[in-house]
Amino acid sequence: MFRKQSIYLFISSAVNFFIMALIIYNDSQDNLMDICLGVTAASGNFFLYTIFLYKKKNLQLKMIRVFSILYFIFGCYITFFTNLEYSSFIVFGIFTTCIFSFVATKYIKKDVDLVSSSNRIR
């Protein structure tokens, strides 16, 4: 079955891996860039992992919500409290990932509501 939320989570993961590749390509030697590299790699892997939690929709929903909030806070930290020369692209990627994960949570929530409504009908 075609699942829209899986597509959105995959796009979020691809954006994170693209940011990671960009950081590696630019060969940044800053400590913050090393942290950003680790965070983008971990979040890319996390979003790929959550695609396979489709049988545990409530757990998937909670994990994505918590991680998206933390990732958004990390993006705000990079935006307002650091002085990076290419922070605008990294911030754009982080906020794009947050938007796609928000849309994925919307569709996961629809699935959870559909299952709960079908249980009420039974």
Stated pTM of the model: 0.79
Cα separation, 35 vs 33, whole angstroms: 5
User: Is 107 within 8 Å of 8 (Cβ atoms)?
Assistant: yes
pLDDT of residue 108: 85
Helix intervals (H) in 1-122 = 4-26, 31-51, 57-81, 87-121
Please write the tens of the pLDDT for every residue from 1-56: 567 888 888 988 898 888 888 877 776 666 777 777 888 888 888 888 888 888 88
